[in-house]
Amino acid sequence: MAGKHRQTCSIAGFLNLFGDAWSLMIVREALYGSTRFSEFQRNTGAARNLLSERLSTLVAHGILEKVDVGTVGARHAYHITPKGESLRPLMAAIILWSNEHLYPDGQAPNSVIHRQTGAELEGLDDLLNPALGDSRCKVAAGPGASAAARKRLGSLE
């Protein structure tokens, strides 16, 4: 990833790492258990050079760990790190939003299932803390906000 954004913004920071068509597909694969280059290639459909570049970026940012598995042919494996694992609820949120808004009823490609009960989450609301209520959240300037962002975000509803 080029890291296109210079803005001090948590969304921009995320997009500097994941703002492309492939990085989250690779994370998906790692969370599904893929570890080898050939598995990532087969399961995402990414071109070799693109996949190689994205894997290196994800390793550099600590989302994946590159492990030398010491055999000839496919010498390296890519393992998901705790930082990568921490993306799991975000991926669940994306799937649930996507199912609600991009697919007709009954045609959702993926389901999100509660591990312990086996119950299917019916929508993004099921993933969210009900204590937050309907009006939920707004965004404000954080401790690391620029002066410009602080001024702007301070006036938001």
Q: Footprint of a second copy on residues 73-112 (CB under 8 A)?
A: 83, 86-95, 97-103, 106-112
Contact 77, 36 (CB under 8 A): yes
Name the residue nearer to a second copy (CB basis): 35 or 98: 98
Residue ranges in 15-34 that form contacts with a second copy under rule CB under 8 A: 15-17, 19-22, 24-25, 28, 31-33
Site for a second copy in 32-51 (CB under 8 A): 32-33, 45
- In the bound state with a second copy, the residue whose beta carbon lies nearer, of 70 and 136, is 136
**111: nearest Cα among 100, 119, 120, 103:** 120
d(CA 29, CA 38): 12
Of 52-60, 64-72, 130-138, which segment contacts a second copy by CB under 8 A?
A: 130-138
61: exposed, middle or buried (C-beta count within 10 Å: 0-12, 13-18, 19+)? middle
Q: What's the full length of the chain, in residues?
A: 157
* CB 53 to a second copy: min, Å: 15
